[in-house]
Structure 1
Amino acid sequence: MRGFSTRAIHTGQDPDPTTGAVIVPIHATSTFAQDGVGGMRGGYEYSRSANPTRTALQECLAALEGGRHAYAFGSGMGASDTLLRVLLRPGDHMVIPHDAYGGTFRLVDKVLALWGIEYTPVDLSDIDALRAALRPATKAVWCETPTNPLLGIADIAAVADVTRSAGVRLVVDNTFASPYLQNPLALGADVVVHSTTKYVGGHSDVVGGVVVTSDDAIAEQLRFIQNAVGSVPGPFDAWLTLRGAKTLAVRMERHSDNAEVVAEALAAHPAVERVLYPGLPEHPGHVVAAKQMRRFGGMVSFLVAGGSEAALRVCAATEIFTLAESLGGIESLIEFPAQMTHASVAGSALEVPDSLIRLSVGIEDAEDLVADLRQALDAATG
């Protein structure tokens, strides 16, 4: 198999046969001429069903995750919703992480639950707890690793052993790690989901999602439901995401470099109670993360001494870190999950600490990022 960056730059992206264009064109068309009724050129008839720019992106992302099939969506949540329509029916049960992404929890708790789907939050680092949560009606286990925003680590291979024995589908949200750092299909997962808005796109300029699998039956149902509901990205969005994927490897190396420096600096600051980063040896998931990840990624969370008010002051005091939701872009972001990305889990079993700050560490100069955080912590807690 060719190397990661070679696949990222070339898979699904041969020069255009008509013009020789090296970069995949943006096929900005809604429909395609047919050579007689049903005589489609290359299988294209209408861009909701398929578009050549989207095809190139899907082939690339399938190759990066080591899957046979990939389907690109207009958002990560659109990808998640469509996949869960494939895997679940009214009366079914699923397991989700006890610290799942707030948007995933909202989809399951506020949308799918209305259609008769039951769920159980579980600490997926506890394999015995996972086994205990499974029921005859369980059809899917939804895993995040690292989790958002507490950076919890699940052993994908161990979880896959449990789900395989139980005849349950394992879905891994690989957004925090990216395909460069972790490949869940190779560890036994049935399906991988990404918000490609994040590290795959990497430049905070496009929203998207993808589902990758090697299961032909799941893939066929995904294709059908995606076309039926129309949850697709436009060709320009697909092109931007594909452009971002080309540099994923070099960006993830820099994100990881910077996050390691930031995590160590935060751990040494007296105003920080605890740093949540799997790259730190004291992190409870460090050994598992080192086994299944190439590196530890660019996401760092930490708890501020002084509680929520101090955390809010830190968020307001940074100069390089921008106060904003989302993650995975080239720029560094800071956010307060309890009132931002994870407000939807307030009052639930998934509620996050009110002194928690989440960082998406960008690719700026590491010394500048550390200096910015130090001055913000000093100003907010001094």
Structure 2
Amino acid sequence: MKTPKIGQMLHLRGNSLNKGEPVALPLTQSSMFHLPGSPEGHDTYGRVNNPTWEHLESLLAHLEDAPCLTFPSGMAAITAALFATLAAGSRVLIPADGYYVTRLLSDRFLSKFGIIVEKRPTIAFTKGGFDGFDVVFVESPSNPGLDIINLASVAQQVRNAGGLTIADNTTMTPLGQRPLDLGVDVVVSSDTKAVGGHSDLLMGHVACRNAQIMEQIEEWRRVSGSIPGPQEAWLLHRGLETLDVRFNRMCETAQVLAERLSEHQAIRQIRYPGLPNDPSHALAGAQTLRFGFLLSITLGSEEQAERFINTCPLLRPATSFGGVHSSAERRARWGDDVDPAFIRISVGCEPVEELWQAIEASLNSS
């Protein structure tokens, strides 16, 4: 897998500037453009294009090493990828233990259009093969369980069966995992999470090296109006410039915390791919560039879990993940099929020793 050239990404705009132009990306907040005569080759209308999100897409395309389109949320990106590749009578396979809103979209909407939706847990995803599926949607690591599947193997099996693979790479970002390099056809991501990194925007993107698929996804965006706002695109561009620094800090801290948590008496179970005894460790080591910033712990009871989350001063009790502030939540409250005392922790950018002291103190008093 290729390692993204972060330095080149940071200077993509700068190396094309003319003398006197601003180094920082301007925010183009306009729905209309001055358009006398033929509109060919020019910005036309805010639902079709915008210079701010087009430049953002060039940075994301550099990271993904593939054309990219941005969307107003991660679910908007997932929706676009699915609606552009499925039709009445199509069969789609999704993870039974993946992000629950993807399941809601499939069950409540895709099924209404005559699309056949089937589900499998991540750890048994390959059982039964992939014959007859038009689209196979994968999450690796799964959210929130952190189970991992062999993306290269699944992508090849699906291709041999005549289908397409779509991978949700939100938990790892392009810096931690490269699904397209492993043979996956389409990547989707919620950039609300680590790519944006500051918990102040909703955004998502789709990346794909198949021009025909990207044309369909672009048409879906243009016709449906599922476009990013220029302000959000500007914020995401700014967040993207520090992703490498933040992601490195978050992953390194997560490794330290996981090793220490694995020895704490209050922990009934821990999952983190970076731990040598984790079921996903070997595959994660071969398939990913980093082990990520998400980990999960299971405490003795729901009450103990709530006390831990709500009393730790360096953990925000909030949903979502990937921000500079470490956060934690009981995923059972959203209906995930997990133990009531299961906690997903998103490790942020706090100094590791200060963060550990706060976590340890809260565990000891819970």
Q: Same fold (TM over 0.5)?
A: yes
Give the distance between the partners of 1:313 and 1:153, measured in 2 at CA.
30
2:36 maps to which residue? 35
CA offset digits 1:327-357 (Å, max 9, x no partner): 1111111111111xx33x5xxxxx2221210
Amino acid at match of 1:327: F
CA offset digits 1:149-204 (Å, max 9, x no partner): 11111111111111110111111111100111111100000000010111111111
* TM superposition shift of 1:126: 3.9
Aligned to 2:108, which of 104, 107, 110? 110
Structure 1, unmatched stretches of 5+, are 346-350
Are the aligned partners of 1:7 and 1:64 in contact in 2 as well (CA < 8 Å)?
A: no
Give the 5 Å matches for 1:144-223.
144-223=139-218
1:348 maps to which residue? none
1:371 maps to which residue? 357
* TM superposition shift of 1:86: 0.6
* TM superposition shift of 1:129: 0.8
* TM superposition shift of 1:115: 2.4
2:46 aligned with 1:47: yes
1:122 maps to which residue? 120
The alpha-carbon distance between structure 1 residues 196 and 254, as it changes in their structure 2 partners (threshold 3 A), is: same
Give the distance between the partners of 2:278 and 2:3, measured in 1 at CA.
33
Amino acid at match of 1:379: S
* TM superposition shift of 1:17: 4.1
3-state SS of paired residue (2:57):
helix
3-state SS of paired residue (1:320):
coil
* TM superposition shift of 1:210: 0.2
1:328 maps to which residue? 322
The alpha-carbon distance between structure 1 residues 109 and 12, as it changes in their structure 2 partners (threshold 3 A), is: farther
Which segments of structure 1 move beyond 3 Å, counting only runs of 4 or more? 11-19, 123-128
Give the distance between the partners of 2:343 and 2:84, measured in 1 at CA.
35
Give the distance between the partners of 1:11 and 1:328, measured in 2 at CA.
25
Give the 5 Å matches for 1:307-322.
307-322=301-316
Amino acid at match of 1:49: V
Aligned to 1:281, which of 255, 262, 276? 276
1:242 maps to which residue? 237
CA offset digits 1:24-60 (Å, max 9, x no partner): 2111111111131x334x4310111111111111111
Amino acid at match of 2:317: L
The alpha-carbon distance between structure 1 residues 102 and 331, as it changes in their structure 2 partners (threshold 3 A), is: same
* TM superposition shift of 1:315: 1.6
CA offset digits 1:84-113 (Å, max 9, x no partner): 111111222211123101221221122222
Structure 2, unmatched stretches of 5+, are none
Are the aligned partners of 2:3 and 2:175 in contact in 1 as well (CA < 8 Å)?
A: no
2:134 maps to which residue? 139
The alpha-carbon distance between structure 1 residues 330 and 377, as it changes in their structure 2 partners (threshold 3 A), is: same
Amino acid at match of 1:46: Y
TM-score after normalising by structure 2: 0.95
Aligned to 1:360, which of 346, 355, 359? 346
3-state SS of paired residue (2:127):
helix
Larger deviation, residues 13-22 vs 257-266 = 13-22
Larger deviation, residues 110-119 vs 362-371 = 110-119
Give the distance between the partners of 1:49 and 1:316, measured in 2 at CA.
44
Identity %: 36
Are the aligned partners of 2:269 and 2:298 in contact in 1 as well (CA < 8 Å)?
A: yes
Give the distance between the partners of 2:105 and 2:3, measured in 1 at CA.
37
* TM superposition shift of 1:6: 1.7
Give the distance between the partners of 2:347 and 2:3, measured in 1 at CA.
29
* TM superposition shift of 1:8: 3.0
The alpha-carbon distance between structure 1 residues 118 and 354, as it changes in their structure 2 partners (threshold 3 A), is: farther
TM-score after normalising by structure 1: 0.91
The alpha-carbon distance between structure 1 residues 280 and 239, as it changes in their structure 2 partners (threshold 3 A), is: same
The structure showing larger relative contact order (alpha-carbon pairs under 8 Å, at least 6 residues apart) is: 1
Amino acid at match of 2:206: V
* TM superposition shift of 1:65: 1.0
1:10 maps to which residue? 11
CA offset digits 1:209-233 (Å, max 9, x no partner): 0000010111000111100011111
Number of residue equivalences: 365
CA RMSD of aligned residues (A): 1.8
Give the distance between the partners of 1:56 and 1:152, measured in 2 at CA.
35
